[in-house]
């Protein structure tokens, strides 16, 4: 089976489950205040507004590849809800106004309150506060979906334990990410927080969930899964860096200027600075550090990053990491079908455009 077909089939199933999950959640809370019902609707619309469903897909491959038989849709939903929670908060931190070519939750609230809250600062504070609460709600719904999973209480407890552990690791990575705009990080330090903020929850947690659900979790297997997940997850984030700067906004649904405007020290930027000569670096930083960049300035910055050789370097780095992941995959005890799909997935993620 081709990986794109497999992912699409999974996506359709999970989105049907998400629709049912939110219908039930909204019905259970239909007598609550309008503000609560509206927030739950915003959560539903956000979760059904787009996304690759990659994390639940990896869990499904891991579970089935390790011999799992019984449907575990509720447990799979938890990882999509976790992802949604992190994205809602990420959009606030990055001040992103668009996600999936639609207004982010905080931005939608700000627009909706244009007439009812005249003071701009108060309107922004209220909108951000509600978006934070929307993210928190998605987090609690994720935990609820684990507790509703069709597995033993022992497994549910283990899944919650893993969920909270990896969520904390992701938060630590995000702390470093936020501080990258005010603190100098070397390229290897940046790769470490990429491991924490992306590889851990996007790849390792789903793999680990699959192992627990299939009743195959052992220290040795977790070590093997980690050896597979970490290079793949870091490569995934490096590809995000390239898409974030040079992708097609209409395809990604996000601005390609955010990282530059936030002065975010991505691996792409750090490597470009390393590769520039001293004069080029000095001129580049003078422009990059300006507080109010015009669109032409952003294009100039992108051009300098590209001409430095950083883009080619990162693509080669991605290829190296993917080779590590392919090698690690050979040691994993997945069944042939799932092992083949994982191998295709590695290549698919390396060349994705959104």
| 81 C-beta neighbours (distance < 10 Å), count | 26
Q: Do the bridges between strand 98-99 and strand 102-103 make them parallel or antiparallel, or are there none, so unpaired?
A: antiparallel
Q: Which two tokens stand for residue 170?
A: 């992701």
Judged by DSSP in three states, 148 sits in coil
For 196, which DSSP code? I
- Spatial separation of the C-alpha atoms in residues 81 and 180, rounded to whole Å: 27
- Spatial separation of the C-alpha atoms in residues 206 and 72, rounded to whole Å: 13
Q: Minimal CA–CA distance to 306: which of 279, 271, 277?
A: 271
Q: Which two tokens stand for residue 81?
A: 């809800």
Note down pLDDT in tens along the chain; length 354 residues.
699 999 999 999 999 999 999 999 999 999 999 999 999 999 999 999 999 999 999 999 999 999 998 889 999 999 999 999 999 999 999 899 999 999 999 999 999 999 999 999 999 999 999 999 999 999 999 999 999 999 999 999 999 999 999 999 999 999 998 888 788 888 999 999 999 999 999 999 999 999 999 999 999 999 999 999 999 999 999 999 999 899 888 887 778 888 898 888 899 999 999 999 999 999 999 999 998 899 999 999 999 999 999 999 999 999 999 999 999 999 999 999 999 999 999 999 988 988
- Spatial separation of the C-alpha atoms in residues 182 and 332, rounded to whole Å: 40
- Spatial separation of the C-alpha atoms in residues 254 and 132, rounded to whole Å: 20
- Asked if 104 and 96 count as a contact pair (C-beta separation under 8 A), the reply is yes
- Spatial separation of the C-alpha atoms in residues 278 and 265, rounded to whole Å: 18
| Backbone φ, ψ for residue 66 (5° rounding) | -95, 15
Q: How far is CA 347 from CA 235, 320, 342, in A?
A: 11, 12, 9
Cα-based angle 168, 152, 201 (whole degrees, multiple of 5): 25
Burial 288-311 (b: 16+ CB within 10 A, else e): beeeebeeeebeebbebbeebebb
Domains located in the chain, CATH noted: 3-351 (1.10.600.10)
| Backbone φ, ψ for residue 86 (5° rounding) | -65, -35
Question: Cβ contacts of residue 262 below 8 Å, gap of 6+?
Answer: 94, 95, 181
Helix and strand counts by DSSP (H, E) for the chain = 17, 2
- Spatial separation of the C-alpha atoms in residues 235 and 176, rounded to whole Å: 18
């Amino acid at each position: 089976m081709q990986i794109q077909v497999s992912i699409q089939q999974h996506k359709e199933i999970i989105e049907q489950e998400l629709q049912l999950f939110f219908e039930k959640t909204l019905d259970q809370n239909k007598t609550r205040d309008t503000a609560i019902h509206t927030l739950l609707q915003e959560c539903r619309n956000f979760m059904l507004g787009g996304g690759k469903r990659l994390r639940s897909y990896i869990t499904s491959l891991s579970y089935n590849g390790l011999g799992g038989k019984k449907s575990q849709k509720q447990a799979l939903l938890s990882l999509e809800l976790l992802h949604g929670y992190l994205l809602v908060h990420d959009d606030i931190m990055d001040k992103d106004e668009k996600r999936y070519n639609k207004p982010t939750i905080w931005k939608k609230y700000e627009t909706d309150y244009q007439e009812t809250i005249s003071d701009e600062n108060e309107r922004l504070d209220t909108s951000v506060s509600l978006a934070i609460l929307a993210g928190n709600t998605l987090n609690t719904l994720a935990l609820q979906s684990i507790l509703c999973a069709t597995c033993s209480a022992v497994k549910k407890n283990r899944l919650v334990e893993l969920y909270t552990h990896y969520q904390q690791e992701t938060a630590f990575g995000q702390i470093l990410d936020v501080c990258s705009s005010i603190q100098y990080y070397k390229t290897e330090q940046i790769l470490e927080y990429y491991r924490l903020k992306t590889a851990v929850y996007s790849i390792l947690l789903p793999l680990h969930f699959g192992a627990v659900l299939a009743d195959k979790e052992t220290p040795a297997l977790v070590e093997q899964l980690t050896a597979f997940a970490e290079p793949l997850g870091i490569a995934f984030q490096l590809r995000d860096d390239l898409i974030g700067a040079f992708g097609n906004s209409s395809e990604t649904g996000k601005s390609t200027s955010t990282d530059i405007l936030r002065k975010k020290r991505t691996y792409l930027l750090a490597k470009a600075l390393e590769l520039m000569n001293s004069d080029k670096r000095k001129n580049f930083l003078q422009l990059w550090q300006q507080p109010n960049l015009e669109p032409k300035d952003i294009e100039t910055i992108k051009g300098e990053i590209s001409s430095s050789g950083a883009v080619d370097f990162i693509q080669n780095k991605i290829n190296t990491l993917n080779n590590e992941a392919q090698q690690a995959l050979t040691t994993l005890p997945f069944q042939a079908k799932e092992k083949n799909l994982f191998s295709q997935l590695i290549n698919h993620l390396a060349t994705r455009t959104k």
